[in-house]
Structure 1
Amino acid sequence: MPAEPAKLARNSLVVGLATVLSRLLGFARDMLIARMLGAGPVADAFLVAFRLPNLMRRVLGEGGLNAPFVPVYLDLRTMEGAQAARRFVGEAFAWLALGVGAATGLGLLLAPWLVLAIAGGFHDAPQTLAMATAYTRIALPFLAFTTLASLLAAVLNSEGRFLVAALAPSLLNLVLIAALIVALTTGMPSVQGAALIAAAVSLGGALHLLMIIVALWYGNMPLVRPRLSWSPAMTRLLRLGGPALLAASTSQLVLLVSTQIASVQPGAVSWLYYADRVFQLPLGFVAVAMGVVLLPAIAVCETSGDAAGRRDMINRALVLGLALAIPAAVALGWLAEPIISVLFERGRFTEIDRIRTAAAMQAFAAGLPFAVIAKVFAQVYFARQTPRLPLYAGLAALGVAILAGRLSVLPMPATNAAAAATLAFVTQACVLGSFLARDGLWRPRLPLLRPILSVLAASVLMVAALAALMPWLEEALSTRSALLWRVAALLTLCCAGGLVYAAAGRMLGAFRLRELSRLGKPI
């Protein structure tokens, strides 16, 4: 059964931890990419080619397809029974397979234009454009595999089975890590190594689909029987699907705009990518978990007409999300250089790469709480099967990102691109909040202000502790030290900061574990 409101914290933790595992494997992957490719033309070419598959993996594999699918599936199962819901899944799978197959074939033909749409600056770098085009064609089949896997994962999420669907995207990182190890240990040239990694992307997508199919089989859920028929439920899915997917993918589309902004300077795409990878760890833990778990829970409230339950659940989700997002944003900003240095500064990744990447990550960090707020707010409209307003908010955010990129004056395209993304997240959260207030679905309340102010105060105390500890660990963090010592020093900083924040937050009343486990009750 779908998650009840009282289970929101537990299920969010399950999805969040699975997502963090994928992100940690992604860090290991990116450390190897940085070592093999650095931040030069080959790295820029591969990372642009990887941007589109990675975008689809994040949007679809981490719950984006839930937005249009879950409410329709749950309504159909409730009103017409499980057999009708299974027929609907078969229809959706067949038509989606047909559509993504055609789109993948078209993408193979139009690969050079896809690359220029993501990184227009490559127009003046024909060699980089040629490499990016080749890598894009090798990696594109991933899109078909992961889209179909995401539809079946949405079935698992609809039934309250979140773990396997959240773990499956990690397979891509495991396959990529294996390919990178092969490339590094055999001394493969960077151009050929990037081609091998691109091939591993497509293999990872195939394994992702296979894992979800196995989960359905062993979960005593009948396997999908594709059928090219068209029911009224498919009409609803089509009507909701386009706007919902566009709205759910806003944060990733903003990153595409950011890549376009950064592509005017050699190396800037790589700096932006590595900064985004670190930014995605807390964003994945908080925002993705909130979105995947909150949607079915709010959908149940909407189906039962429980408006008070919906409002209280939003309040609890905001308190939980911001209690995690605010200190994470502060820590990312304060520890940007040591984090980037320990993770990436080796091999072809140089000191200037570290400085530029850390600056971009600091710009990203400021937008983290707003990205979480926007994710929570959007679930209300997705659950109500009215994705039009989240789409409008997403388009406004994209417009702000494009405008900010054009008006940027700093001579650092990667930092400008990350700052544009942050402004977009702020815009999206504010627009969605104003829509909710206008429609009477949710309003900010004074009781919410107290825990948020306590979170801010606890975060300040955390920074004070980090500032006091930093001089003692500065030598261990430097590139002169062994990697093991550097990792240990960074972990010491992170753990110490986390402990100080947890103690201060508990003392100041920022959060109470008993309250967080009872998210269905009023604040």
Structure 2
Amino acid sequence: MPAEPAKLARNSLVVGLATVLSRLLGFARDMLIARMLGAGPVADAFLVAFRLPNLMRRVLGEGGLNAPFVPVYLDLRTEAGVEAARHFAGQAFAWLALALSVVTALGLLLAPWLVLAIAGGFHDAPATLAMATSYTRIALPFLAFTTLASLLAAVLNSEGRFLVAALAPSLLNLVLIAALVVALVTGMPSQQGAALIAAAVSLGGALHLLMVAIALWRGKTGLARPRLQWSPGMTRLVKLGGPALLAASTSQLVLLVATQIASAQPGAVSWLYYADRVFQLPLGFVAVAMGVVLLPAIAAQESHGDAAGRRQTIDRALLLGLALAVPAATALAWLADPIISVLFERGRFTEIDRIRTADAMRAFAFGLPFAVIAKVFAQVYFARQTPHLPLYAGLAALIVAILAGRSGTMAMPATNAAAAASLAFVTQAGVLGGFLLRDRLWRPQRRMLRPMLAIMAANLVMLAGIEAVMPRLLSSLSIDAALSRRIAALTLLCGVGCVLYALAGRLLGAFRLRELGRFGKTS
């Protein structure tokens, strides 16, 4: 049966706000990292070591395990009952834990090659490579902890329990902030401080697993006993798992390609990282929420053969996602300099670091709406248990990112890498949209045109307001102003934009959920 518009919006809001909390804590963390490490060799080494755990956290947090697990779990619960689904979850946990033990051991052994796979430019910087290898080995256990936590979170999501699963990743940032505060207060040297933060990464992963396990244990479904048994459900999970996980991780693999491009210049990895952190705030709020909430909704519709409900859900998700992504992308592009300056420009993070990071963020902003569209479209094929099509779209995106990165000017590798990532998101959205049209699973409807035009018009109103207010706040945004004054000025500037966009969007009809609920009924 079709998901109600209000329920879709409410669940998306829950996941989105929890994700924003994690991202805001991530900003606090990154402000402290920038203060302690700046954008030099130690920062490059740590951030490359952190890239792999962070990649897996994002892939899994954005529904990487949801994609293969949720449809199989829901089918078993419908066909064989709750107890059969519980046993399947226990089997999946046991086999995944065994596989992760092997992978972690191999990762510890092959850490130097992992670093070079992410940042090949470190081959000519042996000291940076050695530091990155050490930090990678310290942080690597995080991968096992967070992957197991994500499997348990997928069980919670299957049961419609989104809050704890969405909040749990924030523990990592809380632990990292505590470690950074200790390092700064004690005046710890940067290399030693980076090692402490890497250890905090693994600790944060363990706490993430513990929190989700407790939530599942205390719920109605309960925590299934892990069993190394094989079943038809496990066969289906394995067949779906590889392609689905690769397809769901495409956006993060694109960022790995971007990191590889940026590693050609000292400091560029750090510029790209800080720009990506800001970019991930709206992407996390919109795309993660869309991915986590949409998959169970569409999977349920597929199991009931509700094609009309699926089309309605896609329409609602697209309009809701773009209503948030379009103004966010505009704000990231127009306010790149003050945002980066207020967040990071202090300590070892210099003016040139701010300029290069802001340039990269503008390049990222262009791809934000397309990343959201791709996330929405991919859920249809994950729900239908045909992940090979999102995988093809992801591979096309990766090829575009590689080609764009190689053909661009290397004078500004961080900006070039971010632009390559944006082009990859455009490609992914376009290919997935083409598949949906070909398979007649969805098509844009004429009645979507009015709210889309309203979104664009409200965005222009917001931009005009920002341009009008900006000159009056320049002195308050200056690096010479007190930090509290700069934060207040940036908050005011963003607040004016949000209020103007919300008012204009409401008046023009961009945010009427009742109207969204009617899309697809006349198709």
Residue 491 (structure 1) aligns with: 491
Supply the AA of the counterpart residue of 2:391.
Answer: L
Supply the AA of the counterpart residue of 1:157.
Answer: N
* Alignment deviations for residues 261-285 of structure 1 (CA, whole Å, 9 cap, x no partner): 0000000000000000000000000
C-alpha change, 1:289 and 1:34, in structure 2 (3 Å) is same
Supply the AA of the counterpart residue of 1:509.
Answer: G
Map 1:437-476 onto structure 2 (within 5 A).
437-476=437-476
Supply the AA of the counterpart residue of 1:492.
Answer: L
C-alpha change, 1:205 and 1:235, in structure 2 (3 Å) is same
1:185 aligns with 2:171: no
Residue 163 (structure 2) aligns with: 163
Supply the AA of the counterpart residue of 1:266.
Answer: P
Supply the AA of the counterpart residue of 2:398.
Answer: L
Residue 93 (structure 2) aligns with: 93
Distance 2:522 2:175 in 1: 45
Residue 435 (structure 1) aligns with: 435
Residue 259 (structure 1) aligns with: 259
Distance 2:297 2:482 in 1: 48
* Alignment deviations for residues 132-166 of structure 1 (CA, whole Å, 9 cap, x no partner): 00000000000000000000000000000000000
User: What SS does the corresponding residue of 2:63 show, helix, strand or coil?
Assistant: helix
Instruction: Report the TM-score when normalising by structure 2.
Output: 0.98
Residue 208 (structure 1) aligns with: 208
1:276 aligns with 2:280: no
For structure 1, list consecutive stretches of 5 or more residues without a partner in the other structure: none
Q: Is the 8 A contact 2:308 2:521 kept in 1?
A: no
1:324 aligns with 2:324: yes
Map 1:99-138 onto structure 2 (within 5 A).
99-138=99-138
1:363 aligns with 2:363: yes
Map 1:170-249 onto structure 2 (within 5 A).
170-249=170-249
Distance 2:135 2:173 in 1: 17
Residue 73 (structure 1) aligns with: 73
Supply the AA of the counterpart residue of 1:396.
Answer: A
Residue 50 (structure 2) aligns with: 50
TM-superposed CA distance for 1:5, in Å, is 5.8
TM-superposed CA distance for 1:168, in Å, is 0.3
Distance 2:46 2:360 in 1: 20
Map 1:308-387 onto structure 2 (within 5 A).
308-387=308-387
TM-superposed CA distance for 1:389, in Å, is 0.2
TM-superposed CA distance for 1:458, in Å, is 1.2
Q: Is the 8 A contact 1:10 1:517 kept in 2?
A: no
Range with bigger deviation, 371-380 or 510-519: 510-519
The percentage of aligned residue pairs carrying the same residue is 81
Supply the AA of the counterpart residue of 1:30.
Answer: D
Distance 1:326 1:281 in 2: 14
For structure 2, list consecutive stretches of 5 or more residues without a partner in the other structure: none
C-alpha change, 1:70 and 1:520, in structure 2 (3 Å) is farther
Instruction: Report the TM-score when normalising by structure 1.
Output: 0.98
Supply the AA of the counterpart residue of 1:170.
Answer: S
C-alpha change, 1:444 and 1:521, in structure 2 (3 Å) is closer
TM-superposed CA distance for 1:522, in Å, is 6.8
Residue 417 (structure 2) aligns with: 417
Distance 1:396 1:100 in 2: 28
Q: Is the 8 A contact 2:2 2:313 kept in 1?
A: no
User: What SS does the corresponding residue of 1:366 show, helix, strand or coil?
Assistant: helix
Supply the AA of the counterpart residue of 2:155.
Answer: V
TM-superposed CA distance for 1:61, in Å, is 2.7
1:17 aligns with 2:17: yes
User: What SS does the corresponding residue of 2:62 show, helix, strand or coil?
Assistant: helix
* Alignment deviations for residues 391-413 of structure 1 (CA, whole Å, 9 cap, x no partner): 00000000000000110125100
* Alignment deviations for residues 61-106 of structure 1 (CA, whole Å, 9 cap, x no partner): 3321100000000000000011111110111001000001100000
TM-superposed CA distance for 1:221, in Å, is 2.9
C-alpha change, 1:521 and 1:279, in structure 2 (3 Å) is farther
Distance 2:509 2:518 in 1: 16
* Alignment deviations for residues 202-253 of structure 1 (CA, whole Å, 9 cap, x no partner): 0000000000011012223322211111000000000000000000000000
Q: Is the 8 A contact 1:2 1:296 kept in 2?
A: no
Over aligned residues, Cα RMSD in angstroms? Answer: 1.5
* Alignment deviations for residues 302-334 of structure 1 (CA, whole Å, 9 cap, x no partner): 000010110111011111000000000001000
Distance 1:248 1:417 in 2: 21
TM-superposed CA distance for 1:23, in Å, is 0.2
User: What SS does the corresponding residue of 2:222 show, helix, strand or coil?
Assistant: coil
User: What SS does the corresponding residue of 1:63 show, helix, strand or coil?
Assistant: coil
Supply the AA of the counterpart residue of 1:398.
Answer: L
C-alpha change, 1:519 and 1:345, in structure 2 (3 Å) is farther
C-alpha change, 1:2 and 1:111, in structure 2 (3 Å) is farther
C-alpha change, 1:308 and 1:416, in structure 2 (3 Å) is same
C-alpha change, 1:433 and 1:517, in structure 2 (3 Å) is closer
Give the number of equivalent residue pairs. 523
User: What SS does the corresponding residue of 2:480 show, helix, strand or coil?
Assistant: coil
Distance 1:51 1:236 in 2: 31
* Alignment deviations for residues 419-452 of structure 1 (CA, whole Å, 9 cap, x no partner): 0000000000000000000000011222222211
Supply the AA of the counterpart residue of 1:374.
Answer: A
Supply the AA of the counterpart residue of 1:417.
Answer: A
